A and B are shown apart, each in its own frame.
Chain A
Amino acid sequence: MTIQLSTNGNIELVGSCTVDDAEFLLQALLTNPGITVDWSACESAHGAVIQVLLVAKTRPFGKPVDTFLRDKVGPWLGVAM
């Protein structure tokens, strides 16, 4: 799974998150209000996944591998560059 609930209570985005992961992420955020999202192992994320993060106004922590995510998308999720 590219989106998983980790043992320390975070949602982790791992590898390439596809459009199909958006639904799972949305459900995970809805059922665990206030949960933290860790995207440090995220290599790429489909626009639908980023859209869920934008709507959830959640600020992911960690620095993703992908520079586009880190530098161009991150600031819109409240992540400092």
Chain B
Amino acid sequence: MNEFIEQFIIECRDYIEQATSALQTLENYPDDAEALDALFRALHTLKGGAGIVDFAAMERALHAAESALGHARAGDRNVSTKLNADLLACLDLVVRWLDEMERTGELPERSDAQAEVLLHRLSEVARDAATAQHAAGRLSPAQGWLEGVLANHQDVGAYAQTAIRFIPKRDSFLRGEDPIALMGALPGLLALDLQPDGEWPALDVLDPYECILILLALTSASTRDVSTYLKNHVDECEIIELDSAAVTNVPGELPQSARDILEAQTALLNDVADEAFAGTITSVGMAAANVLVYCGHNSAAERITYASSQSLAEGTTRYLQEQLVQALRNPIVAEVSQSLPAAPARADIFARTLRVDAERVETLVRLIGEMTVVKNAIGHVVNLAHSEANPLATILKGHHGVLDRITGDVQRTVLGMRVLPLRTVLGRFGPVIRDMSANLGKPVKLAIEGDETEADKAIVEMLFEPLLHIVRNAMDHGIESPAIRALDNKPATASIVIRASRQSDRVFIEVSDDGGGINVARIREVALERGVVSSERLAELSEAEIIDLIFAPGFSTAAQVTELSGRGVGMDAVRMAVGRMGGMVAIESQSGQGTTVRFSLPFSVMMTHVMTVEAGGQTFGIPIDAVIETIRVPVNTIAEVGSAQVIVHRNRTLPVFDLTSLLQVQSLPGDDSEAVIVVAAFAGQWGGIRVERAGERMEVMLKPLEGLLSSIPGVTGTTIMGDGQVLLVLDLGEILL
């Protein structure tokens, strides 16, 4: 089974357990707010997970469960016995789906039909709750909006199946959303009203980045289709199913004559000659859409029309064929008589999979890090024994060799436990791009290659935000609108490719788009405007270097900075985040052809807290675990004892090691009257390390020294700091022992 699905199943079972336990609490205490919130969170997370693996039926079922619960939450915060039973039924159904997925490794076959039965049950609950709220006068104040929008659009009102009131969040522009485009792409849009949330302000006090709009719409699509389309904006909109009397044709089961026509049209697509391709697709699409409109299935007809344009654009019959098959299915009728079983059939998956708290694996990684340091210290002892011609030296050396090999194996195994396939992060981009594509009105096809490539969990987890930023940039700025693409003879559907691969100990990830490329002149202008670079320096830069300026601090605008959920991520932050993991990011762009952003990252990493110190003007790291304190002492308190130096500190005599002479670096002239000493302990041995300056503490990804580098004395690993500098992390064992 695909690891992504495997992970999804494991996580879902956890959330189902949480939701079931919350429901049990609510059964006894129906107004327990904490249990209600926990249940809501669990359902929401399950829904999100279903979206990520593209399990539409599960997503719909959980969305309905969430909405039904939302009504209860907005009302008297009381979960009725019926709602409780229906939610349990929903969770049971999900458990059965998960069991089936575990057996077959595929999404369950009849899930669509089963979800319909459940949706029917849950929508009744939601309707009852809404009616109750309405009667109690609790529904939002804008009761009159529906009458208003129907009165404004009497010409199309008769065709409308669904009315929507959408109040976007005030910061939606800043979050990269376009509510007007979102409503513009609403399936079956018949009419749109644009109103202010309150009064229109005066122009001179308008904040152009604050959204103050209310959008009202009428569509011929079903409430279900609209809910699916607006699933990411549930809390911003009200969706009302209009009285069926207002609809010209009430959709029902397709009559046999209509099915015959649709089947005949489907058959036509089985063998289409190249020269007749466009004609056949167009005529089949039109015929099928007409039949469906005649039977009152307006939204299905729209899907057919859209699918035929997709088929035409991409030169394949697949999209149209899929929609025809969909239209021929009649899931509600087929499944309505089936009842859901009372108890969930739980498979015993725990026997096969051992779930370990990530924290424990982290502890293991930390311990292995310490073990490596001890192993290196023993190596030092072996060398000492050898140089003193100790008779035990040869035996010690042999054992040290074995210890070295085993420690290496253990380290690789433990790091391997933290390895995840990149699909766990890349898989999230499908839904993200679909939503952005709908929001921006730019059709985009995403291709993901090499998502089975593995990397350390820490790397995989940090990748989402930087990649999301790159993808957003591609969608917002790189990819042109379909109209412009048409002018440039490009296919209407743009393409984004995310490609991952591993070469030796590096993991490479590329994000390419076939958009308009980076406008170098604009970069030049912006860089000058924001003082990122001087005009003299700019004149010396090559085109590639100018493009690279987008990674410079201060280049991103405030609007861009707040785009990513207000996390303050600009391209400079992308480079810094990748740099912190020991990675690099580069960009390549060709005007009119597109842009490629390349990430190169290490395969394995270890997280360590270090304190930076300076010696000879260079910065080094000391593992913070070993540091006891940092002190300043007058230089004359450092006493010479033979060839060594000592100080007395807290009634303890400590040997003092001067880092500049230990590392054989040139000391810088500075304050000679005082010495900065880092007091550290290692394996019970205390000592002072004299440095020129003590710096900050930071958490870094420590990369163990490998190959020839592993023989550098006194250094345990390296890391790359935010500014791109390499930091050598010292091995205190070798220094102090």
Contacts and interface: CB of A to CB of B under 8 A. Distances in A.
Q: In the complex, which of the residues B184, B212, B441 has the most CB atoms of chain A within 10 Å of its own CB atom?
A: B184
A18 B179 contact: no
A76 B208 contact: no
A23 B213 CA distance: 17
A50 B194 CA distance: 10
Given A18-B476, A46-B181, A47-B211, 19 more contacts: A19-B173, A22-B173, A26-B203, A26-B206, A26-B208, A30-B203, A44-B441, A47-B173, A47-B180, A47-B181, A48-B178, A48-B208, A48-B209, A54-B200, A55-B200, A55-B202, A65-B483, A72-B189, A76-B193
B201 interface: yes
A66 B181 CA distance: 12
B76 to A, nearest CB: 36
Given A43-B481, A72-B192, A50 B180 contact: yes
Contacts of B189: 72
A21 B559 CA distance: 11
Given A16-B484, A19-B173, A54-B200, A48 B194 contact: no
A51 B208 contact: yes
A20 B560 CA distance: 9
The 5 closest A-B pairs by CB, nearest first: A47-B180, A22-B208, A43-B483, A76-B194, A72-B192
A19 B194 contact: no
A20 B562 CA distance: 13
B180 to A, nearest CB: 4
A47 B169 CA distance: 13
Contacts of A80: none
Contacts of A66: 483
Nearest to A67: B184
Nearest to A25: B208
Contacts of A57: 200
A44 B21 CA distance: 49
Main secondary structure on chain A at its contact with chain B? helix
B204 interface: yes
Interface size class of A (residues with CB under 8 A): 20 to 34
Interface in B187-201: 189, 191-194, 196, 200-201
B510 interface: no
Given A19-B559, A54-B194, A54-B200, A44 B483 contact: yes
A47 B209 CA distance: 10
Nearest to A19: B173
B565 to A, nearest CB: 16
B104 interface: no
Contacts, number: 83
Contact of B206 (A20, A44, A52): A52
23 contacts: A16-B480, A18-B477, A19-B178, A19-B559, A26-B203, A26-B206, A26-B208, A29-B203, A30-B203, A44-B483, A46-B181, A47-B213, A51-B208, A51-B212, A52-B206, A52-B208, A55-B200, A55-B201, A66-B483, A72-B192, A73-B180, A73-B194, A76-B193
Given A20-B559, A44-B441, A72-B192, A51 B213 contact: yes
Q: In the complex, which of the residues B201, B208, B480 has the most CB atoms of chain A within 10 Å of its own CB atom?
A: B208
B557 interface: yes
Nearest to B215: A47
Given A47-B180, A72-B192, A16 B481 contact: yes
Contacts of B200: 54-55, 57
Interface string A6-36: 0000000001101110110110011000000
Interface of B: 173, 176, 178-181, 184, 189, 191-194, 196, 200-204, 206, 208-209, 211-213, 441, 476-477, 480-481, 483-484, 557, 559
A46 B178 contact: yes
A50 B196 CA distance: 12
A47 B203 contact: no
B308 to A, nearest CB: 19
Given A55-B200, A56-B203, A44 B181 contact: yes
Contacts of A55: 200-203, 206
Nearest to B481: A16
Contacts of B484: 15-16, 43
Contact of A23 (B202, B203, B204, B208): B208
B293 to A, nearest CB: 20
Contacts of A43: 481, 483-484
Q: In the complex, which of the residues A20, A29, A55, A65 has the most CB atoms of chain B within 10 Å of its own CB atom?
A: A55
A63 to B, nearest CB: 14
Contact of B211 (A30, A51, A73): A51
B525 to A, nearest CB: 10
A68 B557 contact: no
A19 B202 CA distance: 20
A14 B484 CA distance: 11
Nearest to B559: A20
A54 B206 CA distance: 11
Given A46-B178, A48-B211, A30 B192 contact: no
Contacts of A20: 557, 559
Q: In the complex, which of the residues B173, B180, B441 has the most CB atoms of chain A within 10 Å of its own CB atom?
A: B180
Contacts of B557: 20
Contacts of B441: 44
Nearest to B194: A76
A19 to B, nearest CB: 5
B178 A47 contact: yes
B641 to A, nearest CB: 68
Contacts of A52: 203, 206, 208
Contacts of B480: 16
A52 B173 CA distance: 13
Q: In the complex, which of the residues B178, B189, B484 has the most CB atoms of chain A within 10 Å of its own CB atom?
A: B178
Contacts of B211: 47-48, 51
A45 B701 CA distance: 44
A49 to B, nearest CB: 8
B194 A23 contact: no
Q: In the complex, which of the residues A18, A20, A48, A65 has the most CB atoms of chain B within 10 Å of its own CB atom?
A: A48
Contacts of B173: 19, 22, 46-48
Q: In the complex, which of the residues B203, B211, B481, B557 has the most CB atoms of chain A within 10 Å of its own CB atom?
A: B203
Nearest to B487: A43
Contacts of B212: 51
A37 B411 CA distance: 66
A23 B208 CA distance: 6
A4 B572 CA distance: 30
Nearest to A51: B213
B229 to A, nearest CB: 16
A44 B483 CA distance: 9
Contacts of B477: 18
Contacts of A23: 208-209
Nearest to A23: B208
Nearest to A72: B192
B456 to A, nearest CB: 36
